[in-house]
Structure 1
Amino acid sequence: MECGLSTSYTNGSTPSSGILAHEVRSQRSPSKAGLHVNFSDKGEVKERREKFLTAKYGNHQMSLIRKRLAVEMWLYEELKKLYETSPKIEDCNSEEVEVDIDELLDMDNDEQRRRHLQSLLTGAKKSQNDVKKFINDLLDKAKTL
């Protein structure tokens, strides 16, 4: 519902005694003069105002979320290191690798995870020893989740 002031409000009848509508308005109390109510569609109100739902997690759930976020941030930083090029060489075709932790956790054993990661990281700029170290560290961190 919308409330607003209207400058042309009348009560729907014309004054019979020759008094103008303006005079009728001025005789009313100042707080009531010129008020009217506009009803608007629900769609308009919904477009204008978005509602957000927030949730409060328990301490245990928040610690799990923080742990997961820490592993994902570590993963992001390490991938940047594995794929970084020298600052003098601008590589416009740099690869973007996406490692899905949930997908890794759904695999049956570490050997499958290791093979999957090695296939994803074939284009890494760093040495194979660095890639193997990264894979081992990632598998260790994934076990804590």
Structure 2
Amino acid sequence: MECGVTGGYTNGTTPAGILADVRSERSPSKTGLHVNFKDKGEIKERREKFLTAKYGHHQMSLIRKRLAVEMWLYEELKKLYETSKQVDDVNNDEVEVDIDELLDMDNDDERRRHLQNLLINAKGPQSDVKKFINDLLDKAKTL
């Protein structure tokens, strides 16, 4: 910043008019400028934090609904495939039902056939399997 005195220099005192001139030359946007240096420890601490996504209310409700259906699906499959403790677990069949794959199918008949083929080795009674398929198809329609 340049600062100049318009008059001659006298006995070491500055007239009030000169101070007023210098203050009026300052830019109002530059008066509050300052620099803050941070320790490297603060930067390292900041890097260790995790980034989380923020979803809108509607998106979160869809996620919760999908999660509820998947948890229900998991619990029901556990019930259908329960085996007694005395039976060897050599024939431990795992079935994986993909909800997205079901939703991509054209109609309910195709979905029903696909589920029946997947659940052919279920340990539970067939009436429970049919009820499970009907319930899953109903829940899939809400997604």
Instruction: Name the TM tier (shorter chain).
Output: 0.5 to 0.7
Higher strand share: 1
Q: Unaligned regions of 5+ residues in structure 1, if any?
A: 1-44
Write the distance in 2 (CA, Å) between the matches of 1:142 and 1:50.
Answer: 39
Tell me by how many angstroms 1:103 deviates: 0.3
1:74 counterpart residue number: 72
Of structures 1 and 2, the one scoring higher in RCO (CA 8 A, sep 6+) is 2
TM-score, structure 1 length as denominator?
0.63
Moved over 2 A (4+): 49-53, 87-90
2:26 counterpart residue number: none
1:121 counterpart residue number: 119
**1:16-27 equivalences in 2 (<5 Å):** none
Write the distance in 1 (CA, Å) between the matches of 2:98 and 2:105.
Answer: 11
Percentage of matched positions with identical amino acids = 83
Tell me by how many angstroms 1:86 deviates: 1.4
1:9 counterpart residue number: none
**1:1-145 equivalences in 2 (<5 Å):** 52-145=50-143
Q: Unaligned regions of 5+ residues in structure 2, if any?
A: 1-43
TM-score, structure 2 length as denominator?
0.64
Secondary structure (helix, strand or coil) at the match of 1:98 reads coil
Larger Rg: 2
1:2-49 alpha-carbon deviations (Å, 9 max, x no partner): xxxxxxxxxxxxxxxxxxxxxxxxxxxxxxxxxxxxxxxxxxx9xxx7
Tell me by how many angstroms 1:112 deviates: 0.2
Secondary structure (helix, strand or coil) at the match of 2:90 reads coil
